[in-house]
């Protein structure tokens, strides 16, 4: 089984990945980010929506949102998050390498480093191609991730994150001359320890720009945070946006 197909990984480390603080930060970003402000009632596809941290506030804001994820348990949590927010969204259980709906969306978002998971470069390209074919002419794709440049500024010694009743030790290793990284997580609770690891591509802005262009996107722009700040030495994330030509 590939790591991203393992629900134990997502549920086991849910307390690190899907925290209330992240939910609040995502809701704040949707409320304030110029990059997440779309035309009223836009049709938005949230690729790899997880527990709906972006899906729910986007739906609450009046967009017609569809969340896609591989794991039914996470989609159930996303639907509950929408209900709690007093919003409705549609959900599809699918692999992002497969899911696409021709010209059905005005916007595709892919948030919180949910891109670059597949060992085969062509599979990662398929995710971009699926986004492109799912967009109506003039539509936009926005991908938010830790890039090579932003990752380089904090990768280093293992980090420890406290979780209720225990802690998670996280260690990152750069692989294949900065082509990919591996993150090893160990959850220690009482006298038990659970270990898991994931391997992901890590892209520079230039590499991802080239992939966007290959998938057919134009007007490609990079930002260093969701406030729309420049992608420079102070960038904390890479937010890359591309548009589908209007023909
Ligand atoms: C880091 S989480 C981010 C979730 C969400 N975007 C957020 O901001 O919290 C990555 C998500 O990608 C989903 N995922 C992983 N591989 C996938 C695949 N092949 N197809 C669809 N979803 C996938 C996981 O189930 C998980 O929910």
| Spans of all domains in the chain | 3-146+203-244, 151-199
Given phi > 0 = left and psi -120 to 50 = alpha, else beta, which region is 62?
left
48 CB within 6 A, ligand 1: yes
Cβ atoms 123, 97 nearer than 8 A: yes
CA distance linking residue 75 with residue 66, whole number of Å: 11
Q: Which two tokens stand for residue 143?
A: 């991908």
pLDDT for position 193: 93
If you take atom 13 of ligand 1, which residue's CA is the nearest one?
48
13 CB within 6 A, ligand 1: no
If you take atom 4 of ligand 1, which residue's CA is the nearest one?
50
pLDDT for position 98: 98
Task: Give, for ligand 1, the residue of 16, 45, 67, 70 to mutate: max count of ligand atoms closer than 8 Å to Cβ.
Answer: 70
pLDDT for position 154: 77
pLDDT for position 119: 96
54 CB within 6 A, ligand 1: yes
pLDDT for position 202: 98
Cβ atoms 7, 34 nearer than 8 A: no
55 CB within 6 A, ligand 1: no
pLDDT for position 184: 94
Please give the chain's pLDDT, 247 residues, in tens.
899 998 888 887 888 889 999 999 999 999 999 999 999 999 999 999 999 999 999 999 999 999 999 999 999 999 999 999 999 999 999 999 999 999 999 999 999 999 999 999 999 999 999 999 999 999 999 999 999 999 998 787 899 988 888 999 999 999 999 999 999 999 998 889 989 999 999 999 999 999 999 999 999 999 999 999 999 999 999 999 999 997 6
DSSP for 118-169, written as a single string: -SSHHHHHHHHHHHHHHEEEEEEEEEEE--HHHHHTT--S-EEEEETTEEEE
Site of tokens 């209330």: 20
- Helix, strand, coil shares of the chain as percentages rounded to 5? 30, 35, 35
**Architecture category of domain 3-146+203-244 in CATH:** 3-Layer(aba) Sandwich (3.40)
Other CB atoms within 10 A of residue 197 CB: 13
Burial of 105 (0-12, 13-18, 19+ CB in 10 A): buried
Regarding an ipTM greater than 0.85, the answer is: yes
pLDDT for position 210: 98
């Amino acid at each position: 089984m590939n790591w991203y197909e393992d629900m134990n990984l997502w549920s086991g480390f849910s307390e690190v990945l899907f925290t209330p603080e992240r939910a609040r930060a995502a809701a704040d970003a949707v409320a304030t980010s110029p990059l997440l402000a779309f035309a009223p009632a836009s049709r938005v596809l949230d690729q790899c929506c997880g527990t709906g941290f972006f899906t729910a506030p986007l739906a609450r804001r009046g967009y017609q949102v569809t969340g896609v994820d591989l794991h039914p348990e996470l989609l159930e949590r996303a639907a509950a998050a929408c209900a709690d927010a007093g919003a409705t969204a549609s959900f599809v259980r699918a692999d992002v390498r497969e899911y696409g709906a021709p010209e059905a969306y005005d916007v595709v978002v892919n948030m919180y480093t949910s891109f670059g998971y597949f060992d085969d470069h062509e599979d990662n390209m398929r995710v971009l191609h699926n986004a492109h074919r799912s967009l109506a002419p003039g539509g936009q794709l926005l991908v938010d991730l830790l890039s090579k440049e932003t990752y380089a500024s904090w990768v280093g010694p293992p980090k420890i994150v406290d979780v209720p009743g225990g802690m998670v030790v996280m260690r990152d290793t750069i692989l294949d001359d900065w082509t990919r990284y591996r993150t090893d997580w160990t959850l220690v609770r009482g006298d038990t320890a659970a270990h898991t690891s994931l391997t992901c591509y890590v892209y520079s802005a230039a590499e991802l720009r080239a992939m966007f262009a290959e998938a057919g996107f134009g007007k490609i722009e990079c930002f260093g945070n969701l406030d729309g700040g420049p992608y420079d030495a102070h960038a904390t994330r890479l937010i890359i946006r591309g548009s589908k030509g209007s023909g």
